[in-house]
Amino acid sequence: METEVDFYELLEVERSADDKTIKSAYRRLAMRFHPDRNPGDAESEARFKAISRAYDCLKDPQKRAAYDRFGHAAYEQAASGGGQGGGQGFSDIGDIFETIFGSAFGGASGGGRQRRGADLRYDMEITLEEAFHGKETEIAIEVSQTCDPCGGSGAEPGTGKRGCETCGGFGKVRAQQGFFVVERACPTCHGRGEVIEKPCRVCRGEGRVDMPQTLEITVPPGVETGTRIRLSGKGEAGPQGAPSGDLYIFMHVRRHDVFERDGTNLFTKVPITFTKAALGGTISLPGLDGEWITVNIPAGVQSGEQLRKRGDGMPVLQGRGRGDLVVDIQVETPRKLSSKQKELLREFQQSETKAQCPDAMGFFERIKANFSKR
C-alpha cells in the first residue's frame, strides 16, 4: 500500500491552472522549503523533493496529460523508463499517449498485448482524531473480479482460444489509403491476436464479473484531505485474464469543532477573561492524543496574540515528529458588571498609566496633538 498526495495539491494550484501559474507556484514553494533555507529540517527536505517531483510532471504537457488521465502510475512509468516495473502496466510511455490520443502516438496495440483493468476511486471520510492516530478499517465495494469458472480466460471450461484468422495472430491489420498504409487493431480479435472458441456462459467471454468485495484499509497517521492511498491490483479486473487496475482511496478529513489544520500544525481560538489576560495564568486544552495540553498565558497578553506549543500538532505523514499547536488568544470584555465590579474598575481606571496601556493612551495623545496644530 502506498500513500500519495495529488501533484496539484502539492503545488497548491487548481487542476485547470495554466503553465505560468504552475511555474510561479513551484518557485514560491521551492524557495520556502529549499534545504538550504531549512538546514536539518527533514520535513522541509521531503516537501521540497515532493514539489520538485510534482513540477517535473506538470510542466511537461504530455506528462501532465497522462497524469490527469491515469494519476501517479503514469508519471512513475514515464520516470522509470517503462518496462514491467511500473504500476500502470504500460510497456512504454507511448502506450499511455496512445490510449489518450489514439494511434497518432504509435498506432493500436497488437501482438497479443493485454490491457489492464481500469483504476477505481473510493472516497473515505474520517475524523481529525482518526487522521491523528491512523486507523484500520474495512470498505465494501462492488468491482469486476476474475471469473471463477473460466479462470479469467473468457473461454468455457474445457475449451480454449485459437489464433485470429483475420490478422494471423498479429493483432493488427493494414489498409492502403492513398500513399499511406494505415495500421489498426484487428476488428475481429480487438488487437489480442486470438479469439475464444466458445465464450464462458458466466462472464460471456469477458473473463470478469461484477461482485461485492470487502477490503481491509490501513490509514496511516498524518493523512489529510487530498491524500491518496493506493491498493495495487484491487481495481477493476482486466478483460480475459489481463492484469487488474489499482484502487485509489481519496481521504477527506471532517471539519473539527475545536481545531483547524494547516499541514502538520493545528490552530484554535481560545477566549480568556480580561483579568486572566492582565494577570496571566494557565489554560488546559484536550489534545487529539487524549492528553491535556497546558498552555501558559503570559501577563499582559493581547487579543489576537498567538501562543505556540511545539510538538503538539499533527504527526508527520510517513515521517517522524509532530507539528505545532497554535493558540489564538481572544480577550473577552465582561458584558454585565455588578455595582461592586464597576466601582473597582473605576478605581483601577484612575490609576492607569501610559506605561501600562501605551497603545490606547498614546493613540489619543497623538490625536490631540494633531488637532492642536490646526
CATH of the domain at 282: 2.60.260.20
Return the sign of the alpha-carbon dihedral for residues 138, 2, 245, 103.
positive
Say what the pLDDT of residue 74 is.
62
Least confidently predicted of 82-86, 186-190, 241-245, 356-360 = 82-86
C-alpha distance from residue 288 to each of 63, 127, 134, 315, 351 (Å):
40, 11, 12, 11, 44
User: Which of the given ranges, 53-67, 76-90, 275-289, has the highest pLDDT on average?
Assistant: 275-289
Name the region of 152 (left: φ>0; alpha: ψ -120 to 50; beta: rest).
Answer: left
pLDDT at residue 374 in the model? 57
**Per-residue pLDDT reduced to its tens digit, 313-338:** 999 998 889 999 999 999 999 988 99
| 96-114: average pLDDT | 41
What pLDDT, on the 0 to 100 scale, is given for residue 259?
96
* 324 occurs within a structural domain: yes
Kindly tell me if the per-residue pLDDT of 110 is higher than 80. no
- Structural domain total, the chain: 1
The pLDDT value given to residue 363: 77
Residue 203 marked as a ligand binder? yes
Is residue 200 a known part of a binding site? yes
Per the domain annotation, does 7 fall within a domain? no
Cα 312 versus chain centre, distance: 23
**Does the pLDDT value for residue 287 go beyond 80?**
yes
Q: What is the predicted pLDDT for the residue at 76? A: 63
Inside any domain, residue 95: no
- pLDDT greater at residue 356 or residue 309: 309
- 361 or 325: which leads in pLDDT: 325
Is 57 marked within a binding site? no
Torsion angle (degrees, nearest 10) of CA 13, 15, 18, 21: 0
SS3 256: coil
Which of 271-275, 329-333, 355-359 is the least confident region?
355-359
CA distances from 352 to 5, 281, 355, 362 (A): 55, 21, 8, 13
Residue 157 lies in a domain: no
Q: Which of 102-111, 125-134, 359-368 has the lowest mean pLDDT?
A: 102-111
Mean pLDDT of 273-285: 94
pLDDT band with cut points at 50, 70 and 90 for residue 166: confident
Asked, for residue 351, whether it belongs to a domain, the answer is no
Domain ranges, residue 298: 260-333
186 is in an annotated binding site: yes
Q: Which amino acid is at 246?
A: D
- pLDDT reported for residue 272: 95
Give me the mean pLDDT over the 269-283 stretch: 94
pTM across the whole model: 0.58
Task: Please report whether residue 167 resides in a domain.
Answer: no
- Decide if 267 is inside a domain: yes
Answer yes or no: is pLDDT of 99 > 50.
no
User: 357 labelled as ligand-binding?
Assistant: no
Choose the most confident range, by mean pLDDT, from 199-213, 324-338, 349-363: 324-338
Ligand-binding site membership of 164 (annotated): yes
Is residue 94 included in any domain, yes or no?
no
Q: What is the DSSP letter of 260?
A: E
pLDDT at 198 over 60: yes
Reported as a pLDDT band with limits 50, 70 and 90, residue 5 is: confident
pLDDT at position 153 over 70:
yes
- Cβ atoms within 10 Å of 285's Cβ, excluding its own: 17
100: confidence class by pLDDT, cuts 50, 70, 90: very low
